[in-house]
Amino acid sequence: MTKKERPTLSLKPKAKPAAPAAKAPRAQGDGGQRSAGSDRPRAAGPRPAGQSRSESAPRGNGPRPSGEGAQRGFGPRPDRENRGEGRSEGRGEREQRGATPRSDRENRGEGHDDRGQRSLGPRAGGENRGEGRGEREQRGFGRREGAEFRNDSRAEGNQRGFGRAAGGEDNGSGSPWGARKPAPRGAHTPPAPRAPGKPAIRESHHRDLKPRLQTEFQSELKQDSLAFAILGAATASAEVLQGTALPQALAAVFANNNATPQARGAIQDIAYRAMRQLALSEILIGLMAPKAPDPLVRSLLAVALPLMHPADGSPAPYEAFTVVDQAVTAACSHPDTARAKNMVNALLRRFLREKEELLDEALQQPEAKYNYPQWWIDSVITAYPKDWEQVLAAGNKAPPLTLRVNTRHTSLADYLARLAQEGIEATQVGDFAVRLAKPVPVHQIPGFDEGDVSVQDAGAQLAAPLLDVQAGMRVLDACAAPGGKTCHILELADVNLTALDADPKRLQRVQENLDRLQLHATLQPAEAQADAWWDGQQFDRILADVPCTASGIVRRHPDIRWLRRKSDTRQLATLSSQILDNLWKMLAPNGKLLFVTCSLWPQESEAQAAAFAVRNRATRLDAPGQLLPLGGAEQDHDGLFYALFQKDA
């Protein structure tokens, strides 16, 4: 049996005799072929920036050689050593490409690679047409036959994946990925377009589309693992950055994953940490990442970094390498982040290695130092030039757990004694307020389920006493949800109270609190700026806790700073003025209206109160005014504003 000879592969291109071809007119466009043997020489020197080949001086119409070496007007090469350095076989020195020879400085880097294709090089005038590689080495630059052009560059607007089409021309559609139609090449028939097939990647990963979160995805991670908590917190944080409030985002994560109470507590703690330190985390990611990560990957990093370096100086809750390991595990378990697991691992480990240098550089920016948007920082400085740093610092601290004692059930002294018997350390901070030294789950608070106490900030507990309600009065609590002030009023006196709120779902929370405390009120779903719901009978007391930016309770709701915009202040102030004017006509003579906001901005508080008094000729009574959240034993409350008005008979 004879051995078969094995064919050998030669890398040398075989020279083929150039057969005369029919003369075809040169096609206009960026992709047309150049004709050989041009009669009209082209002027030497670099082509002007932005000028395509079709806009250059016309070439002569000579026969185009055939064969492998004829691509783009080059003659066949005898061997692979020819690098195309100015001449091709069988042509005169001045006839190469129908143009005069260029000097070395003018050469646009159009040499040849080992396969006989043209290779990329620097161009004069900074032109980059992306046309320098052949079909065997093309990596997405320029255009392939039968394929669309793709560009991985970024525009000046810092938008990911936005660039220009080759040749510097904008396609005018607003999308950088518009397909360039191949120019006709004489009698050559363009290849048929490919039949659309099933995409190799998920739709939300396509570079032309905005990534869409898979919030309903259920991972296979164990619920008692740190990876499960990190992934849940990252999903909620990504939803916040797309405009969802953090409580609603967390509720969706809990429901989609059937999270246990223990897992819910861990997810919530990590998510709130991430919101309080989001600006620093974002800037650190920008310093380390070579390109902007996808939304869920970015959020995964943003929830992991605060666990490795708490900005408030408190001890880290987990070992740093444990956080890295669990963050990578979380990334592997979700389809939106699995392909970025190596980047997550690399960035977190780099942070551990270069922690001091990265923090020093990041903290040069005010947003990272204070963890607020720049417009928020500027607004606090303008409103409170002496206390602005304390106000910003207090908003980044976790709030204390403050309780309101229901004096219908027990006295404050008796309740403090009960807490002491239970081994819970607490302090009296108001007429009805008790602050716990350490937070406790609400259903583990002694007497909570029985209605002996409710959770309410010490500053918010001032509202009901300021109204001075008496038994038998008609009282309106406008914008009542979630019902803390409503219940406090009913704890102080037997009144006929109407709780008004525009959202029927939020009124359900009011009813739940009333049931727990064994109290009664009339719930009215309606907008406070309207009067169609009103029966015409005036109220003796009105509590107007009007909508605002909630900038004073940012320590309880750290996502507010990232959801609000500077323009929201004026819009909400306009709505509040409409509500106040509408409620004023519902107030009986000698009645009192208490105006309350949880905002730090004077446009929503003091300026609003002064304008209201002038418009309605209201008598302004003594009230606390603006409460600044400065922290400390005596001022550890939210940033609320109170203004009390009386209607003259």
Among the listed residues 479, 487, 548, 598, the single catalytic one is 598
Res 20: pLDDT: 52
DSSP label at 255? H
Q: What is the DSSP string of 402-428?
A: EEEE-TTT--HHHHHHHHHHTT--EEE
645 in Cβ contact with 619 (< 8 Å): yes
44 in Cβ contact with 105 (< 8 Å): no
Res 312: pLDDT: 84
- Kindly list the distances between the CA atom of residue 76 and the CA atoms of 72, 79, 87, in Å, as whole numbers in the listed order: 11, 9, 11
User: Strands of 433-436's sheet, edge to edge?
Assistant: 426-428, 433-436, 401-405, 453-455
Q: What angle do CA 584, 614, 476 make, to 5 degrees?
A: 20
Largest CA distance in the chain: 123
pLDDT means over runs of 10, the chain (649 residues)? 49 51 47 42 48 45 44 44 42 43 43 42 41 40 38 38 37 38 49 48 44 77 96 96 94 94 95 97 95 94 96 90 97 94 96 96 96 97 96 93 96 96 94 93 94 96 96 96 96 97 94 96 96 96 97 96 95 96 97 97 97 96 94 80 95
Q: Is 455 left (phi over 0), alpha (psi -120 to 50) or beta?
A: beta
- CA–CA distance, 572 with 445 (Å, rounded to integer): 36
Give the number of residues written for the chain.
649
Query: In the annotation, is 598 catalytic?
Result: yes
Element (H, E) at 279: helix 278-288
Res 133: pLDDT: 41
Tokens of 61: 């119409």
Please name each of the domains of the chain with its CATH number.
226-370 (1.10.940.10), 401-455 (3.30.70.1170), 462-646 (3.40.50.150)
- CA–CA distance, 420 with 422 (Å, rounded to integer): 5
Res 19: pLDDT: 53
Res 625: pLDDT: 96
Of the candidates 325, 318, 105, the one whose C-alpha atom is nearest the C-alpha of residue 221 is 325
333 in Cβ contact with 318 (< 8 Å): no
Res 526: pLDDT: 96
Res 213: pLDDT: 72
Res 17: pLDDT: 52
End-to-end CA distance of the chain: 123
Looking only at the bridges linking them, the beta strands covering 453-455 and 401-405 are: antiparallel
SS3 labels along 42-108: ECCCCCCCCCCHHHCCCCCCCCCCCCHHHHHHCCCCCCCCCCCCCCCCCCCCCCHHHECCCCCCCCC
Res 207: pLDDT: 43
Long-range contact set of residues 132-140: C-beta below 8 Å, sequence gap at least 24: 134/71, 137/113
**Residue type for position 637:** H
